[in-house]
Amino acid sequence: MEENTDIKCKPRRQILIATDGSETANEAANFGIEMLGCSGAKVYALYVIDTTPYRSVSLDKIWSKEVLDEHERVGHEATSYVERIGKDAGVEVETRVLKGHPAEKIINFAEDNNIDMIIVGSLGKGRYERAVLGSVSDKIIRYSKIPVLVFR
C-alpha cells in the first residue's frame, strides 16, 4: 500500500461550536472541546437569536427592550458554557451572539472566519417534525461547504 505524503497539517485549526444552550448543544460542546480542542484549535462559540419571523420588521418594533435583553442573556449564557469548559480544558474560546436566521448566520460566520469544522447538536426530530419545522442542523448540513459534525 502506497502512503500519501501530500497531507499537510494546518498550523492551527478553527472550530465553530454552534449552541442554543440546550442539553444536546452542551453535549456537542463537551465532545468538541474534548476531541478537537485539545489539538490546539481555536474554538468559536456562537449563538444566534432567531429573528427569522421578523425579517422585514425591525426587532425594536416587535420586541421590547426587555425581551431582546432576555434573548441576548440566554445567548451569552449558552456561549459562556462553551467558554467555561474550554477554559477548564486549556482551550482558547471566543464567544459571539448574533441575530438573524440561525443556519444562515452559522454558515456565513464559518465561511467568513475560515472555520475548519462546524459542530452542532441535533434534537433528533422525526421525519414529520423535520418536514414541518425544519432543523437548523439539517440546514447547516445541506448548505455548508465546511465539514459539519452533528452530535445527537
Tell me the CATH number for domain 14-151: 3.40.50.620
Selection from 21, 46, 29 nearest residue 97 by Cα: 46
Q: What is the pLDDT of residues 66-96, one digit of tens each?
A: 888 899 999 999 999 999 999 999 999 999 9
Q: State the pLDDT confidence band at 40, using cuts at 50, 70 and 90.
A: confident
pTM of the predicted model, to two decimals?
A: 0.84
Helix, strand or coil, per DSSP, at residue 43 = strand
Check residues 58 and 148 and name the one with the higher pLDDT.
148
Q: Could you tell me the residue ranges of all domains in the chain? A: 14-151
- Cα 60 to Cα 51, 104, 106, distances in angstroms: 11, 21, 23
- Note the pLDDT of residue 132: 39
Selection from 17, 11, 149 nearest residue 93 by Cα: 17
Report how far residue 35's alpha carbon sits from residue 15's, in angstroms, rounded to the nearest whole number: 11
Q: What is the pLDDT of residues 108-139, one digit of tens each?
A: 999 999 999 999 998 755 554 444 345 899 99
Checking if the pLDDT of 28 tops 90, the result is: yes
Selection from 16, 12, 11, 9 nearest residue 86 by Cα: 16
Summarize the confidence of residues 15-39 as an average pLDDT. Answer: 90
Report how far residue 15's alpha carbon sits from residue 19's, in angstroms, rounded to the nearest whole number: 13
